[in-house]
Structure 1
């Protein structure tokens, strides 16, 4: 009987030791599962003073850390009044120069290429020399009605016309129409491999090599600003006051400011620090949010 009890005790002790080792693997599996299903979020970091009048677009320059803000400075996004401007703010939310470039009409989307800042201005594309802060060229776009967002890739500037449903390009002094038939198209972005993505009435879409476009998310419709995160993920803003995290199968509403009547127009993005810059339009300020996903 003593021998039996001793064997029984040794068996129980061994089982306890083996059991004590197993929870570590279980915890690791749980941690990995949680990480895979994490809900994307935006956390407010700061807001500028409310003196960036009718700010429509924010652009973060990865090369210099400069943040540009386009200001319509009026109620009408189609009025040619010469009141529009480009401001510069700091990464801490201070307005460094509220009138870096002035004399525009209703500036909207922006993109940088080869030392120039390109801005849509109702029916024209404006080129600003960054070093001198002077308008260096202006191109009228035939038939344009409501030029909006802008993206750059390898020296080519792509921009949308929300009213005509067209995507235009500029390269080597010439304006061309890349694609058309996209109702209410606004946000546009180009990936590192040159694939064009856009937001229109049908949703989030991408352009194929043959020039056709495929909708990859039909739920995020009528978007304004578009950011490519990589790995098939995107951030899309809706002017009314929504910011979405989206891919080809899901979408998550990360920010809803409609109740506060705070718009979320053409967003900018600091990829290194995962910060989204939101122009609030009629609230006249830019808000910065930390992205966690």
Structure 2
């Protein structure tokens, strides 16, 4: 299928109270159109400046082995269509210490970026629908949309860091930003921030199916 890759995979611009207001309304502009993806979901920057793209391919919650990871250049060229294959429904990804972490339904897959070796996957006990990933304070985090949870990677594997059905129902996007973690939720359409002591603040609400979070000058795009 043909898939649009834009300069930002987002729809709603939000200026934060702690950041200067937007000088003008941000506008999404198409940068390129690239073939070779099937239900692309997540993007992660590689150390060499290229991008990893996750392809769900099949159903978003089905362990069917049809998913894969592609690599795209910074100018939109498809470098490697299937850099890694045999995943189920890969979604959010993050790169940390030379390892690509990929959220894949109930487990997090890992790949050595230099060798492309698949490392043993890590389960997230009790997870139902792992979605977005980020690194915050040196820790790998992953959201569980159906479990209203955030998992963190410890020496003993993934453990629940936060779980709250009312606040985190339909949790999706995660973004580590200095001392705060930004969180978006689909159920309430909210953008939240939380510090390491788990003090929560609602930044914005009223969005429809709030998804990934990206940084732009003067605020964030969700």
- In which range does the TM-score fall when normalised by the shorter chain? 0.7 to 0.9
Equivalent residues of 2:45, 2:95 under 8 A apart: no
How far off is 1:59 after superposition?
Answer: 1.7
SS of equivalent to 2:60: coil
Partner residue of 2:197? Answer: 210
CA distance in structure 2 between the partners assigned to 1:54 and 1:103 by the alignment: 15
Tell whether the 8 Å contact from 2:123 to 2:157 is kept in structure 1 after alignment.
no
Listed one character per residue, the Cα deviations across residues 78-113 of structure 1 (whole Å, up to 9, x for unaligned) are 111111110001122111111101111110000010
Gaps (5+ residues) in structure 1? 1-34, 237-293
Cα distance in 2 for partners of 1:188, 1:125 equals 15
Q: Secondary structure at the match of 1:198?
A: strand
Give TM-score scaled by structure 2 length: 0.83
Q: Kindly provide the CA deviation profile for residues 206-229 of structure 1, in whole angstroms up to 9, marking residues without a partner as x.
A: 013431322110133531111133
Q: Does 1:110 align with 2:96?
A: no
User: Does the 8 Å contact 1:204/1:221 carry over to 2?
Assistant: no
> Is residue 198 from structure 1 mapped to residue 183 from structure 2 by the alignment?
yes
Take 1:100 and 1:115, find their aligned partners in 2: how far apart are those partners? 15
Deviation at 1:69, TM superposition (A): 0.3
Unaligned runs of 5+ in 2: 1-20
Residue 213 (structure 2) aligned to one of 186, 210, 226: 226
The residue that corresponds to 2:33 in the other structure is: 47
* Alignment-derived partner of residue 15 in structure 2: none
Aligned residue number for residue 44 of structure 2: 59
Is the contact between residue 52 and residue 69 of structure 2 (CA under 8 Å) also seen in structure 1? Answer: yes
Task: Give every structure 1 segment of 4 or more consecutive aligned residues whose post-TM-superposition deviation is greater than 4 Å.
Answer: none
* Cα gap change, 1:151 to 1:124, in 2 (>3 Å): same
Q: What CA distance in whole angstroms lies between the structure 2 residues aligned with 1:94 and 1:172?
A: 38
Report the structure, 1 or 2, having the larger helix content: 1
> 99, 122, 126: which one pairs with 1:143?
126
Compare the two structures and name the one with the higher strand fraction.
Answer: 2
Larger Rg, first or second structure (1 or 2): 1
- Across the aligned residues of Structure 1 and Structure 2, the Cα RMSD in angstroms comes to 1.8
3-state SS in 2 of match to 1:225: coil
